[in-house]
Amino acid sequence: MTPGADGPAPRRRGRPSRTAGAAGPDARTRILEAARAEFAARGYDKTSIRGVARAADVDAALVHHYFGTKDEVFAAAVEVSFEPALDLPAILDGPSEDLGERLARYFIGVWENPVSRAPLLAILRSAFTHEAAATVLRGFVLRRLLERIAAELDVPDPAFRAELAASHMIGVAVMRYVIRAEPLATADPEKIVEMVAPTLQRYLTD
Amino acid sequence: MTPGADGPAPRRRGRPSRTAGAAGPDARTRILEAARAEFAARGYDKTSIRGVARAADVDAALVHHYFGTKDEVFAAAVEVSFEPALDLPAILDGPSEDLGERLARYFIGVWENPVSRAPLLAILRSAFTHEAAATVLRGFVLRRLLERIAAELDVPDPAFRAELAASHMIGVAVMRYVIRAEPLATADPEKIVEMVAPTLQRYLTD
């Protein structure tokens, strides 16, 4: 990563960029979507601020203006990718005796959907290959997801238990969608929910 | 990956290579160790047969002779990295009521040791970034580890259950050693064993 190379693109190259002033109120959203798509398709290493700007049809300076460094663009893209996590309160608010089942079903649903799966896989892949991406994921996973779950638990070591539950769901995703080991790779999602739910239930409520 | 670029190195470059005849009976072992180190340090993409040969101080033709293609070298390196798995029969042979605890302790032990952890992380990283590596891991994990465990189980769907257990252990490794999310990243290994063991026990014996 060479931040210097990601500076504003000379006007003579590529398509004409819109100016910051003409970008409109949806430019930020467009940049985020482009960043998510670029990181998902190319990985952390090969994604540049210039490339994101090109995909969003804005000037690279505008990407810098809204998000700052490449790491910060990545962090914002991670947050967008985890937006389904905003459903969490509804999941956490239900009766505690089937919390494990609700979380397992929600999680499998997010991963079964190719649209939400692609960016999650890209984030995991980036965390494996780049310390900066691992740091972003660590900060995000801790701050937004696990702490929110842990805060609702009435068990000793809630943060530890929330992480164990999350680790199991991440492991299922790695085995099913990355390694694609059978029989898990083609198992009926409901069968996975049925087996995994009691594990999550034990970690989160016992 | 351009297999053609990995052909025998011209003699004029690099250190003088030993000839196949002079390589001695330990050349195969040396190549395997070099391959494991190269894949662990550089990742799948940047590892070449020529680089492995250089690190093992042999001719690239000898690497081809013993192992074939880059994918086959990778497969052999994966097998070496999973050699601790040869301890599995001892683990599986013990009393079934604490099988989960024995597996959890064994698994954490392998990952806590930096020497065995590095190649495992490299393999996972490669599986995330290269389909060929995922294929190798899938074949290996299925053939050597999971089937061996599943064969010992007296439950319905033993292969599915063995994979769920493995997926949890992989997820713990990802969270603790790759993402390094707290509190799991610095938790006492015994505390992890204590919490994870009942999960593995349920999958494998209930």
Give B153 or A9, the one with higher predicted confidence. Answer: B153
Please tell me which residue of chain B has the smallest CA distance to A180. Answer: B138
Task: Kindly determine whether residue B141 and residue A179, on different chains, have CB atoms separated by under 8 Å.
Answer: yes
Ranking B55-64, B110-119, B153-162 by mean pLDDT, the lowest is B110-119
CB B164 within 8 A of CB B203: yes
Q: What pLDDT is recorded for position B146?
A: 84
Between residues B182 and A79, the one the model is more confident about: B182
* Helix, strand or coil, per DSSP, at residue B114: helix
Q: What is the pLDDT of residue B44?
A: 83
Q: Over the range B132-143, which residues count as b (16 or more CB within 10 Å of their CB) and which as e?
A: bbbbbbbebbbe
CA A54 to CA A4: how far, in whole Å?
17
Which whole-number Å values give the CA distances from A2 to A46, A64, A66, A136, B188, in the listed order?
11, 14, 19, 18, 38
Share of chain B above pLDDT 70, in %: 86
Kindly indicate the confidence band of residue B25, based on its pLDDT and cuts at 50, 70 and 90: low
Q: What's the mean per-residue pLDDT of chain B?
A: 83
Query: For chains A and B, what is the number of CB pairs under 8 angstroms?
Result: 130
pLDDT at A204: 93
Mutate to test the interface with A, among B107, B163, B192 (most CBs of A within 10 A): B163
Residue located via tokens 């250089």: B54
CA A95, CA A110: separation in Å to the nearest integer?
Answer: 21
Is residue B112 over pLDDT 50? Answer: yes
Cα separation, B147 vs B163, whole angstroms: 9
Q: Which of A142, A182, A191 sits opposite B142 (nearest CB)?
A: A182
- Residue B5 pLDDT > 60: no
Q: Which residues contact B162 (CB under 8 A, 6 or more apart)?
A: B146, B149, B150, B153, B203, B204
- Identify the pLDDT of residue B86: 65
Residue B76 has pLDDT above 90, yes or no: no
A172 at B interface, C-beta within 8 A: yes
- pLDDT score, position A53: 96
d(CA A33, CA B180): 27
Between residues A22 and B148, which one has the greater pLDDT? B148
pLDDT in single tens digits along all 206 residues of chain A = 444 444 444 444 444 444 444 456 689 999 999 998 888 888 788 899 999 999 999 999 999 999 999 988 988 888 777 776 667 777 888 888 999 999 999 989 989 988 888 888 888 888 887 888 888 888 877 777 888 888 888 899 999 999 999 999 999 999 999 889 999 999 999 999 999 999 999 999 98
Distance from B25 to chain A by nearest Cα, in Å?
Answer: 35
Of B142, B164, B178, the CB nearest to A196: B164
**Lowest mean pLDDT, pick from A94-98, A192-196, B73-77, B129-133:** B129-133
A46 touches chain B (CB under 8 A): no
